[in-house]
């Protein structure tokens, strides 16, 4: 899983920070309730963002409970909600198939952690796949397509990014309102494309050192995973364009109480994460972020 899609919390009012944390904790509780304890370990920001998009502009009823992360003090979280159910199921499906692919890609010994992850998620996956068979189908097909592109060492950025984007876009298919479904499909497609490319950039040096496939290496002819000025500028233009297309679709719908969180994510958070990844300052869970409210470019 990735976790690049998050709002710049320090730019949000306290009320909005707490609202986002309730959504994040709500997804954690939903993973536990629907898919079992192991599923909680795949909790990430990306599918919290998905749950917020699908929420219909309203926050679910707030509940309070202790949990593994807060065993002594009860913490507020979003209660049961169809959007959280969907996000939980689909995050499990994607994590499971990514783990299965990791087993194939990394061989016997290097693939042990992926094998352990897939075994731990097996029961959770069976429940989630039974609830979301179409998303499971799309995920399997597109990850197979990604594997074929990796094996052929494709120099294209668009083809592998499109494969992953199709997976996230499929999450919009259960939206009941037809217009919202089309808007979310566009948003999630461009978000998925951006996430895939950010992950490739984040893993660039490690993939170069290990000899793993990374489309950036073949697209730009990079040596030892080091950007040239020209390749970095071209890549920045590509990923920023995905954010702008996402923002264009976002403007077509009213997301109610989540508007402030979504706007800060789309117009600031994604640019900041991109800048941190490309500068080498990104750390999972601790992105480099500015204190002002201006939109940040990755350049």
- What is the structure's pLDDT at 294? 36
Average pLDDT over residues 213-230: 94
Task: Give CATH for domain 9-279.
Answer: 1.10.600
Please report the pLDDT score of residue 144 as a whole number.
93
Contacts of 201 (CB under 8 A, 6+ apart): 216, 235, 239, 277, 278
Residues 243-277 as b or e (16 or more Cβ within 10 Å = b): bebbbebbeebebeebebbbbbbbbbbbbbbbbbb
Mean pLDDT of the chain: 90
The more confident residue out of 214 and 298 is: 214
Burial 91-110 (b: 16+ CB within 10 A, else e): bbbbbbbbbbbbbeebeeee
Spans of all domains in the chain: 9-279
Q: How far apart are CA 146 and CA 161, in angstroms?
A: 9
Q: Is the pLDDT of residue 30 over 50?
A: yes
For residue 208, list its beta bridge partners. none
pLDDT given at position 295: 35
Looking at residue 288, its pLDDT comes to 39
Judge contact between 81 and 114, C-beta under 8 A.
no
pLDDT at 116: 87
pLDDT at residue 57 tops 50: yes
Q: Let me know the angle formed at the C-alpha of 52 by 48 and 55, rounded to the nearest 5 degrees.
A: 135
Q: Which range has the worst mean pLDDT, 25-34, 103-112, 240-249, 288-297? A: 288-297
**How confident is residue 176, by pLDDT bands cut at 50, 70 and 90?**
confident
pTM of the model: 0.90
How far apart CA 117 and CA 124 sit, in angstroms, is 11
């Amino acid at each position: 899983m990735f976790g690049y899609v998050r709002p710049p919390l320090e730019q949000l009012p306290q009320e909005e920070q707490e609202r986002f944390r309730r959504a994040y904790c709500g997804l954690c509780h939903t993973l536990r309730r629907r898919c079992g304890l192991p599923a909680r370990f795949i909790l990430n920001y990306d599918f919290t963002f998905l749950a917020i998009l699908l929420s219909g502009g309203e926050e679910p009823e707030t509940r309070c409970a202790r949990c593994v992360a807060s065993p002594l003090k009860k913490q507020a979280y979003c209660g049961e909600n169809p959007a959280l159910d969907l996000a939980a199921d689909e995050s499990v499906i994607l994590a499971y198939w990514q783990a299965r692919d990791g087993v194939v890609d990394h061989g016997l010994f290097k693939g042990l952690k992926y094998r352990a992850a897939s075994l731990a998620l097996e029961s959770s996956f069976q429940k989630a796949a039974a609830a979301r068979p179409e998303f499971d189908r799309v995920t399997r097909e597109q990850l197979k397509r990604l594997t074929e592109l990796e094996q052929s060492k494709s120099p294209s950025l668009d083809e592998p990014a499109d494969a992953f984007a199709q997976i996230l876009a499929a999450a919009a298919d259960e939206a009941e309102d037809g217009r919202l479904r089309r808007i979310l499909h566009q948003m999630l497609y461009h978000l998925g494309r951006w996430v895939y490319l950010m992950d490739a950039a984040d893993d660039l040096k490690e993939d170069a050192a290990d000899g793993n496939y990374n489309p950036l290496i073949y697209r730009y002819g990079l040596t030892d995973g080091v950007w040239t000025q020209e390749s970095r500028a071209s890549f920045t233009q590509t990923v920023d364009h995905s954010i702008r297309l996402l923002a264009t679709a976002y403007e077509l719908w009213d997301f109610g109480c989540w508007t402030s969180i979504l706007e800060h994510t789309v117009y600031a958070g994604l640019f900041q994460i991109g800048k941190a990844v490309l500068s080498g300052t990104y750390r999972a869970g601790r992105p480099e972020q500015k204190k002002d409210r201006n939109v940040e470019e990755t350049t």
